[in-house]
Amino acid sequence: MATTGVFSGTNLILKIEDTALGHTTSCTMSFNADLPEATTKDSNGFQEVIAGVKSGEISFDGLVAYDDSANAIEMADYLLAGTQVTAVFGTAVTGDSVYTVEGFLSSVEMSAEMESPVSYSGSITTTGSIVKSTNS
């Protein structure tokens, strides 16, 4: 049954190549649309735009655990190799919407402060269509 009402962000997961990205603390998906200006003298002083290219980005943060199936080191390897990945953003609940994209890792960062857990962050820039489907 699909999720209803306000729900915890813990329920949203990010999968890379069919494996949940390990120990994430947050993930964000952004959609963007380029809106080229189409203002003319006939616009009566108001800006007009037309629909242009659409794009997307997924960003993530987490704690480093080398034994996770999908971890910071693997994400860095994808970036360094220029490997295109499949990412799925959504819940695991039947009936909920999920978004599937192809993309490339555009950044990966690991940070280690003294006496603190090692953390990582990164982002994926989409290439091609963003596909919405429903968990079954």
- For the stretch 25-56, pLDDT in tens is 999 999 999 999 999 999 999 999 999 999 99
In a domain, 42, yes or no: no
In a domain, 40, yes or no: no
**Structural domain count of the chain:** 1
CA dihedral of 56, 94, 86, 5, whole degrees rounded to 10? 30
In a domain, 108, yes or no: yes
Q: Give the Cα-Cα-Cα angle 99, 15, 75 (nearest 5 degrees).
A: 120
- Predicted pLDDT of residue 51: 97
| 133/76 Cα distance (integer angstroms) | 28
Residue 1 has pLDDT above 90, yes or no: no
In a domain, 49, yes or no: no
- Predicted pLDDT of residue 100: 98
Q: Record the pTM.
A: 0.90
Instruction: Name, in order, each residue with C-beta under 8 angstroms of 64's C-beta and a sequence gap of 6 or more.
Output: 23, 71, 72, 110, 117, 118, 119, 120
In a domain, 2, yes or no: no
Q: Which domain CATH number covers 114? A: 2.40.10
In a domain, 43, yes or no: no
Q: How confident is the model at residue 136 (pLDDT cuts 50, 70, 90)?
A: confident
Domain that holds residue 74: 9-35+58-130
Mean pLDDT of the chain: 96
In a domain, 31, yes or no: yes
Answer for the pair 13, 90: CB distance below 8 angstroms, yes or no: yes
Q: Average of pLDDT values for 126-131?
A: 97
Beta bridge partners of 111: 119
In a domain, 123, yes or no: yes
Q: Would residue 118 be called left, alpha or beta, if left means φ above 0 and alpha means ψ between -120 and 50 degrees? A: beta
Residue 134 has pLDDT above 90, yes or no: yes
- For the stretch 65-116, pLDDT in tens is 999 999 999 999 999 999 999 999 999 999 999 999 999 999 999 999 999 9
